[in-house]
Structure 1
Amino acid sequence: MDYPIPRRPGFDPPDEFAALRATAPVCPVSLRHGQEALLVTRYDDVRAVLRDHERFSSDPARPGFPQLRPVVDRKAAPGSFLVTDPPEHTRYRKMLTGEFTVRRMNELRPHVERITRERLDALLAGPRPADLVAGFALPVPSDVICLLLGVPVEDQEFFSTRSRAHLNRSLTADQVRTALDELHAYLEDLIRTRRAAPGDDLVGRLVADPSLTVGEAVGMTVLLLVGGHETTANSIALSVLALLRDRAQWEALAADPDLVDDAVEELLRYLSPVHHGVVRAVAGDARVGDCPVREGEGVIASLFAANRDPAEFPDPDRLDLRRSAKSHLAFGSGVHQCIGHLLARLEMRVALRALVTALPDLRLAVPFEEVAFRFDAPIYGLRSLPVTW
């Protein structure tokens, strides 16, 4: 079986996932570079892999590390804490932990609400139909991450297009490499400027640490910049589309916006935007469920399949905003759980609450079948979302 498995328009994972969970929960698959790996689809198994960082390594230099990107990663770039193991990962992560605490999110909330209100006002003042992706879902988290990092908002389009190219798995390796080189050059200039004149922002505080090299600071900032807006932007747009498709769900939130906080957890479970999964190299002989895995093999832990596992979430293919879904794995688990998960939750909650409050009669401006999904990236989303009110 080739992997990734092709998607069809809509929110559901490919049918193969359900069949694999039932009959082959650890299944050999073929990847784009001719490599073989093992696809893991059951909730308990996926969670176990993600939490065992000693036997399942995030380091691309390890034999068997699954290569899903057009560019083959032979080793982790400096600062790329997403693809490093402890203790190096611990060092990088510790530098950022204080920026994403509950306390910090509470301090940031008024700014997120202001940005959301400004973007919503601009949307309302513009023409109808409107594209909710370009006019709201993408700008809100982009503005927030610009504020957090200290990146000028006027450079938003530059880093947005490069980060999307970086994640676009339909592009050639040369195209991806060019986009990433341009992003690195931009951030290196920003970081050198901050070192010369520190500011009260995340990058300014990061580069104040003399032990951090410019290369490491660039690598860390790339991850924050790309992950800090792309995933959340797609999650907001997909959530709105899912709610509008099932009108009763949208109306329930409009009638009681206090439902939004719990609804966000169910939407994250149901949508699972990181749809290609999380890759690991087997660093020591282990078992995944009933299946032995050997050192030197590669594993793909499917967050999407795990979040639709009926053993953990009864009737998993139904969107139920009153479901207790906090055990979902949309942000991963273990030491590599998304460091910005609290920020993503905050942005989604504020954005959805603002929309259902200000636009209770929001509706699609085209038939659902005409909405263009974007599946050519590890984080899926929408190319556009035409809406009116």
Structure 2
Amino acid sequence: MSDAISFEEPWARTHQFDPPAIFESLRAERPLARMVYPDGHVGWITSSYELARSVLSDPRFSHSTEIGHFPVTHRGQVMPNHPRIPGMFIHMDPPHHTHYRRMLTGEFTTRRVGRLAARAETVAAEQIDAMREQGSPADLVKHYAKPLSLRILSELVGLPYEEADRYGHAPTLLHDPDADPQEAMTAMGQAAAFFAEVVERRRKEPQDDLISRLIADGQLSDEELCNIVTLLLFAGYETTESALAVGVFALLQHPAQLAALRADPGKLDAAIEELLRYLTVNQYDTYRTALEDMELGGETVKKGDSVTVSLPAANRDPAKFACPAELDIDRETSGHMAFGFGIHQCLGQNLARVELRAGFSALLSAFPGLGLAVAPGEVPLRLQGSVFAVKSLPVSW
């Protein structure tokens, strides 16, 4: 169709913190716009908050990889449909999705992850010490954000962090479109083999971790267990690490907001929610496929049409958030969609908040003179890929 945009346009981010500019015009003119997917399918993309929530909460839309059209390529290659993968419930519909998610919900409640707050603070303090030992300047990503996120998630799941060299590189390589494909595949294979090994260890010697509890529950095969571990690591590690690192970058670029936060640390929780909304590091791969014909946003969506939801665009919709392009830690952010919406809303969002709270608090307390060690334009960004990130963040104090 002549008015359909290319799937590449909504990912053409040109600014450090802002979504692609095309969303402004789309939202004003056609908030549900035609888009040509990588496989040639002409589907849709939403740019409004209201439509995003509508699509993600409507049971008439499927998230199954068996029928959908992927809105992005994988290293330039069209991603084909494939059958359900046991345990990979992120791309399943009820009742299969419900079956797996129910097993894990209790592990990520506010109360359960709240017990990890003290441990997260300890880990953050240890990583602050590691930064001091490294000396100023230091790379905040390498010496702080990455190890903090990976250590806490690994402990909850049951992955021994002292062996992180066997699994920690895989998520980064998978999310980085510039990574060498062969290196990424090798890392994926090594991580999968290691997860199988850990499951076998926990069968013999259970510990106080998620893997051991799932084994004791007795409902999952080893294949399902390993795939669930893979999903939790790949969905929860890089995203939280990026939210922390890019969040620090954003605060350093907004000195008035940083000063307000330093002056009143009680604003930290609100500041984290605003950073999540403002940055929305989960920048694409959120799509659904219509199971029947329906009316949506004044358009007729046909059965089999895929609809991509832009979470960054939804979180910048002025119909929901006044002056959305501004970072404002005093903003009312309730309802933001940084963690998605509906039955697939991020399972680990409570854990992410615990990690971010510990990470920001320790960093701002330890380094009152924290600043960029390079010019802002020299900070290497990862603009493409499913997670918006900084590849490194040189800071001094």
Select which of 3, 6, 20 maps to 1:2: 6
Quick one: which amino acid aligns to residue 366 of structure 2?
A
1:20-169 alignment to 2 at 5 Å?
A: 20-52=26-58, 54-64=59-69, 66=71, 68-70=73-75, 71-169=79-177
What is the SS of the residue equivalent to 1:138?
helix
Deviations 1:127-173 (A, max 9, x none): 21110010101110101011111211122233221112222334576
- For residues 269-298 of structure 1, the C-alpha deviation after alignment (integer angstroms, 9 at most, x for no partner) is 000001125111111222222112111111
Q: What percent of counterpart residues are identical?
A: 38
Query: How many Å apart are 1:253 and its aligned residue?
Result: 1.2
Secondary structure, counterpart of 1:332 in structure 2 = coil
Give 1:83 deviation, angstroms: 0.4
Partner of 2:295: 287
2:18 counterpart residue number: 12
Q: Show the counterpart of 1:184.
A: 192
Q: What are structure 1's unaligned runs of at least 5 residues?
A: none
Give the aligned residue type for 2:307: V
Say if 2:108 and 2:347, in contact at 8 Å, map to a contact too.
yes
SS at match of 1:12: coil
Q: Structure 1: how far apart are the matches of 2:181 and 2:393?
A: 29
Equivalent residues of 1:269, 1:330 under 8 A apart:
yes
Name the counterpart of 1:202: 210
The match for 2:377 among 369, 372, 381 is: 369
In the alignment, residue 22 of structure 1 is paired with which amino acid?
A: A
SS of the residue corresponding to residue 169 of structure 1 reads coil
Structure 1 match to 2:254: 246
Deviates further, 321-330 or 119-128: 119-128
CA shift, 1:32, in A, is 3.3
Match of 2:389 in 1: 381
Q: Distance in 2 between matches of 1:286 and 1:175?
A: 43
Query: How many aligned positions are there?
Result: 388
- Per the normalisation by structure 1, the TM-score is 0.95
State the TM-score, normalized to the length of structure 2. 0.93
Residues of 2 paired with 1:127 and 1:173: CA distance? 34
Aligned to 2:168, what secondary structure does the other structure show? Answer: helix
> What is the CA distance between 1:178 and its match in structure 2?
4.1
User: Distance in 2 between the 1:167 and 1:72 partners?
Assistant: 18
Amino acid at match of 1:43: Y
Match of residue 299 from structure 1: 307
Cα separation, 2, equivalents of 1:375 and 1:76:
30
Alpha-carbon distance in 2 for matches of 1:295, 1:2: 21
State how far apart, in whole Å, the 1-side matches of 2:339 and 2:282 are: 8
SS of 2:74's equivalent in the other structure is coil
Does the CA-based 8 Å contact 2:252-2:371 persist in structure 1?
Answer: yes
Moved more, 285-294 or 70-79: 70-79
- Tell me what 2:320 maps to: 312
Task: Indicate how the Cα distance of structure 1 residues 180 and 285 shifts in structure 2: closer, same or farther if over 3 A, else same.
Answer: farther
Contact persistence 2:39–2:69 (CA under 8 A): no
Distance, in Å, in 2 between the alignment partners of 1:72 and 1:287 is 27
Q: How far apart are 1:380 and its partner, in Å?
A: 1.0
Structure 1 residues 325 and 277: alpha-carbon distance in aligned structure 2, compared to 1, 3 A threshold: farther
Query: In the aligned structure 2, how far is the partner of 1:166 from the partner of 1:65?
Result: 16
- State the AA in 2 paired with 1:17: F
CA positional deviation for 1:6: 1.6
Equivalent-residue separation in structure 1 for 2:164 and 2:224 (angstroms):
22
Give the partner amino acid of 1:2: S
Q: Report the more deviating stretch, 120-129 or 9-18.
A: 120-129
Whether the 8 Å contact between 2:46 and 2:307 is mirrored in structure 1 is yes
Q: Describe the SS at the equivalent of 1:308.
A: coil
CA contact (8 A) 2:285 2:308 kept: yes
Alignment partners' CA distance in 2, 1:73 and 1:192:
31
The DSSP-based 3-state class of the residue aligned with 2:326 is coil
Deviations 1:237-279 (A, max 9, x none): 1110100011111111111111110111110000000112511
